[in-house]
Structure 1
């Protein structure tokens, strides 16, 4: 039931109060949620850019058909998926996994080879579609904390 309760918070935000700001505590929680989101193989082949600079948001508003929310919100988060995947992405992930989980890197080589083989099976279009799906998972994961108000 807790999972269902977490999903019930969703609603469309039509307006933001320009004078309200996302607190550093809430922003850190959102960042951590994005970092911990699920992804295929754990690779997380995307970037999330947090844009608070009003000049940059004004340019993005212009390039996004003018929605007022882009400049009224205290910040926006732009998710971008990788369009190319290289062995270095896999190796960087395996190094991080080795360091954070105290697993010898040599024990992860087979997993790296498996990921590389599965990724190489995909056409260029399939790969772009796949990384876009991974990005969408991260985009859909964050949930505002209790008491968080955007409007």
Structure 2
């Protein structure tokens, strides 16, 4: 399916059937998330993949009992690193060196640049917000991937992050939840949003073409 056709097909599915998404489709979606862009390529987040129905039942009240949580096949939790530290940068530069077959010392200046960015944030909150924005790039990539795979998805910010962090013991893992993505298949009879015309701002309202100076 071509991308624009796929994006026109997708919508934020509010009711799902509970049918399982085939493992190979889930793996392709996760691989798209892995390949998502991020600032400096640091990818300062983790994605929890939750399939267990019992755990999703426990998450339901934390997400204000939105039905997609329990009706989905898989629930992805995008969680930003907190804190993002210099050691993460060192791990990245080492990975780059190993992958590209170069000496780690050749990346010293690159690593210093990333660390300088991290040190430039005035507060830990600002640093976390920067990491969270990188997680949203991955979320957007996941949404495009689900559409191409003909898997329905519901991106969700409607949950209590602190409560979810406690439930999943994220603080102990150096993580804080940012967004959820429920994967599954639309229940066209129960979802009043199914089949509705997609509404987006017209191109002339959305895009501003800046003329040459």
Q: TM-score with structure 1 length normalisation? A: 0.90
Paired position in structure 2 for 1:139: 139
How far apart, in 2, do the equivalents of 1:99 and 1:9 lie? 41
**Structure 2 unaligned runs (5+)?**
153-184, 187-213
Cα displacement string for residues 3-62 of structure 1 (whole angstroms, at most 9, x for unaligned residues): 6445434312121111x1111111110111110001000000001000001111011101
TM-aligned CA deviation for residue 102 of structure 1: 1.9
* 1:69 partnered with 2:68: yes
TM-aligned CA deviation for residue 101 of structure 1: 1.9
How far apart, in 2, do the equivalents of 1:34 and 1:3 lie? 16
Comparing both structures, which one devotes a greater share of its residues to helix? 1
Cα displacement string for residues 83-125 of structure 1 (whole angstroms, at most 9, x for unaligned residues): 2111110011111111222222111111001110111010222
How far apart, in 2, do the equivalents of 1:116 and 1:53 lie? 38
* 1:110 partnered with 2:109: yes
Paired position in structure 2 for 1:85: 84
Q: TM-score with structure 2 length normalisation? A: 0.65
- Detail structure 1 runs of 4+ shifted over 4 Å in the superposition: 2-6
Cα gap change, 1:5/1:99 in structure 2, threshold over 3 Å: closer, same or farther?
Answer: farther
Which structure has the larger Rg over C-alpha atoms? 2
Q: How does 1:1-151 map to 2 (within 5 A)?
A: 4-5=4-5, 7-18=7-18, 20-123=19-122, 124-142=124-142, 143-144=145-146, 145-148=148-151, 150-151=185-186
2:6/2:150 contact within 8 Å kept = no
Comparing both structures, which one devotes a greater share of its residues to strand? 2
SS in 1 for 2:36: coil
**Structure 1 unaligned runs (5+)?**
none
Paired position in structure 1 for 2:206: none
